[in-house]
Structures are given as structure tokens and as C-alpha cells.
């Protein structure tokens, strides 16, 4: 789960003693212990709720397949490209373009047409 070596834990304890001091360290250790117990209780509660909602199907789930560390995009693409089933050709409709209106040039000094009702 968390990959912390013994040396790192000892270093963290030394830093905690120096920063917090020996008087406050037991108080913070108790708080940390309560936090860890609460997190474990919440995790087990969530797991139990999922188990209740899924019912007997929960036991049939292969959790190793859902492990994100198993995700390999190269394998997924390779399997998708090597599938035996041909994919259906997508139907792309031809774009509909309105008919082109002829360009009318205005004479020098002529005002552009304006529609009073459009605004």
C-alpha cells in the first residue's frame, strides 16, 4: 500500500520529535491513531455497503481485472487492432450547403440594404 522504508519512518519520527517536542508528541500520536482507525472503519463500511448493494454478484467479481496497475494501453490497442470482427463502416452524410447567392456589388456612395424589422 504505502512503500515507506524503516529508515524513512525513523527519520519522520525524529523530525516529529524536533518539531512537536516531546510534550505534544503523545497527543498527536493519539490523534493519528484515531484518524487511522476512522479511515479503516470508513473503508470497511464502504466495502460492506457495496457488498449489500451488489448482493451475491459481489463475490463473483474478479478484482484483479479491475486493478489499474494492470492497465496497459499498448495491449488494449493491440487487442483492438487484432480483433477478428470487422467494424461497420461509419455512414457520413454529405454536408448540406445552401445554394450560393450571387454577389451584388454596390455602386460608389450607395447605402447597404437595411431591414428595419430585423432589430
The three state secondary structure string of 30-57 is HHHHHHHHHHHHHHHHHHHHHHHHHCCH
When pLDDT is averaged across residues 26-32 and rounded to a whole number, the result is 87
Separation of alpha carbons 44 and 65, rounded Å? 21
Distances (CA, A) of 75 to 6, 53, 62, 79, 82: 37, 33, 19, 6, 10
Q: For residues 86 and 105, which has the higher predicted lDDT (pLDDT)?
A: 105
When pLDDT is averaged across residues 22-43 and rounded to a whole number, the result is 90
pLDDT above 60 for 1 = no
Residue 10 φ/ψ, nearest 5 degrees:
-60, -45
When pLDDT is averaged across residues 66-91 and rounded to a whole number, the result is 75
Angle at 40 between CA 2 and CA 60, to 5 degrees: 90
Q: Rounded to two decimals, what is the model's pTM?
A: 0.40
Is residue 12 a contact partner of residue 20, using CB atoms and an 8 Å limit? no
Q: For residues 10 and 71, which has the higher predicted lDDT (pLDDT)?
A: 10
pLDDT above 90 for 45 = yes
pLDDT band at 92 (very low <50, low <70, confident <90, very high): confident
Amino acid at each position: 500500500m504505502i512503500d515507506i522504508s524503516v529508515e524513512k519512518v525513523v527519520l519522520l519520527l525524529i523530525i516529529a520529535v524536533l518539531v512537536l517536542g516531546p510534550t505534544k508528541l503523545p497527543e498527536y500520536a493519539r490523534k493519528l491513531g484515531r484518524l487511522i482507525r476512522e479511515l479503516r472503519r470508513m473503508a470497511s463500511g464502504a466495502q460492506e455497503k457495496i457488498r449489500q448493494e451488489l448482493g451475491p454478484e459481489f463475490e463473483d467479481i474478479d478484482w484483479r481485472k479491475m486493478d489499474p496497475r494492470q492497465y496497459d494501453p499498448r495491449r488494449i490497442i493491440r487487442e483492438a487492432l487484432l480483433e477478428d470482427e470487422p467494424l461497420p463502416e461509419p455512414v457520413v452524410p454529405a454536408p448540406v450547403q445552401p445554394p450560393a447567392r450571387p454577389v451584388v456589388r454596390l455602386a460608389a456612395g450607395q447605402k447597404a440594404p437595411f431591414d428595419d424589422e430585423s432589430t
